[in-house]
Chains A and B, each alone.
Chain A
């Protein structure tokens, strides 16, 4: 089982993703950008890293793209080359922000409404690419 952090401010969206992933992953949840950073940092401290983060853009306090930038910046500071950090898939209803998301360092981008088959394929592909199969 993978360990995945689902970041979305909407309860139903978080639960839906966890249910879709129930056979492949154990999921933790964050409802705000701050909670995401806390969960991510805690996982590093506990040496129980996430295999993947599913990150919404529209979040209270700090938006998902800023969080993405912060995570990539901290990886860069830790000497982790771009492309070798934690895989992050942006999950959003915004159709036009993918360029910005890729510029900030996301690995993939999926639009709501969630296509289950596509989401599972993207996760499998990323896990294979990052050697986490």
Chain B
């Protein structure tokens, strides 16, 4: 897995090399598109649940939601989302202050929105 699969550091533009990732995973490109579209549409619910867990400072719940995002983002080679998830996950595990977690949450939210916008634009043009 390398960053070329998914360019798009925080603040940068995003592109997903569907053919390259599909080849690496040995799956059909149309299935990969279907999977990232499905994952992207589920992210707003996950981020909402994560925000609620953050507001109530429920560390176990935060770790569970982050773990789920991590597993799928990693499997789908969504690198910039994965990086933002990892920063928050490490901070939660390390017991960092809630105020700091809000900052990491904002970064992760931004990556999540970026992915959803990209997917809508590239794969669901009717929904853009």
Contacts and interface: CB of A to CB of B under 8 A. Distances in A.
Given A20-B25, A113-B75, A12 B67 contact: no
Nearest to A92: B71
Nearest to B1: A113
A114 B25 contact: yes
A13 B75 CA distance: 7
Interface residues of A, number: 19
B71 A116 contact: no
B24 A116 contact: yes
Contacts of A11: 38, 42
Interface string A10-21: 111101100110
A13 to B, nearest CB: 6
A28 interface: no
B59 to A, nearest CB: 15
B44 to A, nearest CB: 15
B28 interface: yes
A124 interface: no
Interface residues of B, number: 23
Which of B1, B24, B72, B75 has the most A CB atoms < 10 Å from its CB?
Answer: B75
B77 interface: yes
A44 interface: no
Nearest to B76: A12
A13 B31 contact: no
A94 B67 CA distance: 8
B31 A19 contact: yes
22 contacts: A9-B68, A10-B71, A11-B42, A12-B38, A12-B72, A12-B76, A15-B34, A15-B38, A16-B75, A19-B27, A58-B64, A58-B71, A93-B67, A112-B71, A112-B74, A112-B75, A113-B74, A113-B77, A114-B25, A114-B75, A116-B24, A117-B26
Interface of A: 9-13, 15-16, 19-20, 56, 58, 92-94, 112-114, 116-117
Given A16-B35, A113-B1, 11 more contacts: A10-B72, A13-B72, A16-B27, A16-B75, A19-B28, A58-B71, A92-B71, A113-B77, A114-B75, A116-B24, A116-B25
